[in-house]
Structure 1
């Protein structure tokens, strides 16, 4: 097993380090494992796995949610969010910095992509916060960290991918993501409030004060949130009300986003085409990676590596808490070099037997895994949100990473709370299915 494990790791690192596409790296690693360490021919297995990974009904929700996010990103629908939120947040310690957190949470609920959430919200808030004199490091930290919730708060592309490859209910996964998502938002906002109270005058909150607005003016500005709230409501009601499956709800979201964008006068044929082709490119890339990961999963199954690994870890006698600590450390290291989807697919290909043997609920583990992937989005050297922020601000990666460190630690706290209080993730999916 040691020889095969080392060969598998070496092949994967060699291919990824050489700049080979992730899907091809997964396929190449699986091919080496089957060709040299098993009696099975890799060709028929590859063909069977590619076919099996390409026609799943649940997978059709993926391009639809991606397309919805592209429409919102390109049509400027989210530009009204800052104007709608800012009058209500001025009285909170931290004031308009909360728009990064709440705005990211709202946009995450209709987008499903961390990078798109970060770019869309950041284009609105960062220039405005800078103009009003807010602390730049805290503005960067709140945006980079809160926008990772695009991976967790439904509809989540990561949860769809996890649900497809582990054969778990996507509806239950969506429900399970609500509680932890709101908890992380609350942790971020609580930290920001505490930071502002401790810093006092040194917090740099010298911007314009909109708390003097009349109630009617605040309501008028809040009306700008109506399109996004309508979209969120349409998706949530259709899924949780039992009116539609996640796939059908994704189609509802696309149609609603088009209708609302057109109603706002920001949806043209050019935006339709560019958003469609961008969604196709992204969805095809993800589908190709899923197919490659499916082949690697089969190869690991035929070579018995995961089962032997699970047996070896079980013989170590680690408690569930120690196992979770070890897995978190391993995943964070892997997350420094892999994107979120690749990390999830590699984990499900290799580590799931260990997870099953430890008795973790697979719905809970999916949420845990996505939170760890969120953390990898703000971890150098391959933290995509760090790259997005760098493109928006021009600041160096080290400065941005330092600004996100407190929120990284808060995510670790969120994992600990989920472990000791699993009902945070599991109450909603199981309560609504009883």
Structure 2
């Protein structure tokens, strides 16, 4: 009981500092420092020594180097016309499927996720291209916006995924295996979205109006050429990882180099593009890495107080079945998703949640994918849902209108979560097949 009180006290302090409007990294530092000082009686010098040791360890982490590289690659793609080419290239292949061009949202986000690693970047890039065109052609607006909100979150699940890198670093799991484990669940979720769009269009053809135009073989050839830059980037990043040529960090650097070459071939590589993309990547990656380091400091403070181990023991004493524990964690994460963004959910909860799931017998690789799915749900959960904010800016709708449009796709994520729980091999098959 004392451990649970301590855990809720720490979470309460976090909620208090975040509610007061402090930056996330500041809240993590304050709560960790106050906990070590008041509860453990550590001196300020000792607290500084602990913090500097964590800073040095993470600053010299090779895995952490992949984050700014993947962010930079996403910035380059976002600010060139590769995304516009993606829509043009997909259109001829989906026009005759029930739902028509609505499938460009799902397929476009799936392909873009394989080179971006960021959910907001995927949503913004595909959304700004497709929504205006779909609205102009008379497609159902709620289905268009909802499919972008749901499919945009695939940037967190389909590798390379920044959230999976964060989880792998904090949980000390192989990032390469985590990347492999995200492929089949990501394709499964994309298939559920596409199936839902087809079902809606079959039941009500007015959601996807207009007869598809006649296409020649030349049109399909031009479409493949439009898709070629994205396929080159996917092959560079994912091919180098799964062939064993490069680690995820090295593949990220290769992806940046390939994206610069592609931008040069498209005659869009300018000094202004370099400056804007480097500054954008610098801002985003600095934010992520700072939160990671401060979260590690809080995790260390909680470790000194034995909170994770004691909470795990206390909940273990309740004799919950593994699936009841998972249900409890799901409710907990759904609650966190209402008030926190995805990365914060991972770094704040992992010190307590990971020992519990390991004790219950769940595979840590499987739990990483489960956690990413919970983060994906948070991306489309108001009031703090990044994908909702992005689409609010794209469409001019209120946050609640966007959330209402995204709700069916939230339910499909819940179905996906249920499927990987019942059939864990959906997650574990590929890493086991590729790496033993």
Q: In 2, distance between residues paired with 1:81 and 1:276?
A: 23
Q: How many angstroms does 1:128 deviate by?
A: 0.7
What residue is the counterpart of 1:54 in the other structure?
59
CA RMSD, 1 decimal: 1.1
Selected match of 1:305 from 304, 307, 311? 307
Partner of 2:394: 392
**Contact conserved, 2:77 with 2:83, CA < 8 A, in 1?**
yes
1:215 Cα deviation from its structure 2 partner: 2.2
Find out whether 1:205 has 2:208 as its counterpart: yes
CA deviations 1:320-359 (Å, max 9, x no partner) are 1111111011011101111111111112222221122111
Given that 2:89 and 2:223 are in contact with CA atoms closer than 8 Å, whether structure 1 keeps it comes out as yes
| Alignment CA distance shift 1:165-1:6 (3 Å) | closer
Distance in 2 separating the partners of 1:204 and 1:249: 41
How far apart are the structure 2 equivalents of 1:3 and 1:165? 24
Structure 1 SS opposite 2:339: coil
Matched, 1:78 2:83: yes
Q: Is the 1:77–1:266 Cα contact (8 Å) retained in structure 2?
A: no
Q: Distance in 2 between matches of 1:413 and 1:204?
A: 23
Deviation at 1:208, TM superposition (A): 5.5
How far apart are 1:199 and its partner, in Å? 1.5
Q: Identify which of 271, 278, 281 aligns with 2:280.
A: 278
Which residue of 2 is the match for residue 267 of structure 1?
A: 269
My pick for the range that moved more, 146-155 or 71-80, is 71-80
For 2:212 and 2:79, the matched residues in 1 are separated by 30
Matched positions, count: 431
| Counterparts of 2:273 and 2:201, CA distance in 1 | 40
Aligned pair 1:330/2:332, yes or no? yes
* Preserved contact between residue 235 and residue 252 of structure 1 (Cα < 8 Å): yes
Distance in 1 of aligned mates of 2:250 and 2:131: 35
Runs of 4+ in 1 over 4 A off after TM superposition: none
Shift of residue 216, structure 1, vs aligned partner: 2.3
Q: Determine which of 230, 246, 255 is the counterpart of 1:244.
A: 246
User: C-alpha deviations, 1:225-255, integer Å up to 9, x for none?
Assistant: 0010111011111000001110110011000
Structure 2: distance between partners of 1:33 and 1:308: 16
2:7, 2:311 within 8 Å by CA — same for their partners in 1? no
Contact 1:156 1:174 in 2 (8 A): yes
- Check the 8 A contact 2:382/2:403 in 1, yes or no: yes
Q: Distance in 1 between matches of 2:95 and 2:412?
A: 24
Unaligned ranges ≥5, structure 2: none
TM-score by length of 2: 0.97
Q: TM-score, normalised by structure 1?
A: 0.97
| Partner residue, 1:99 | 104
The residue aligned with 1:90 is 95
* 1:184 aligns with one of 185, 189, 195: 189
* Alignment map for 1:357-368 (pairs within 5 Å): 357-368=359-370
Question: What is aligned with 2:417?
Answer: 415
Could you tell me which runs of 5 or more consecutive residues in structure 1 were left unpaired when the two chains were aligned: none
Are the structure 2 counterparts of residues 403 and 275 from structure 1 closer, same or farther at C-alpha, using a change threshold of 3 Å? same
Indicate the SS of the match to 1:153.
coil
- In the TM superposition, what is the alpha-carbon distance from 1:162 to its structure 2 partner? 0.6
**Alignment match of 1:124 (pick from 110, 119, 129):** 129
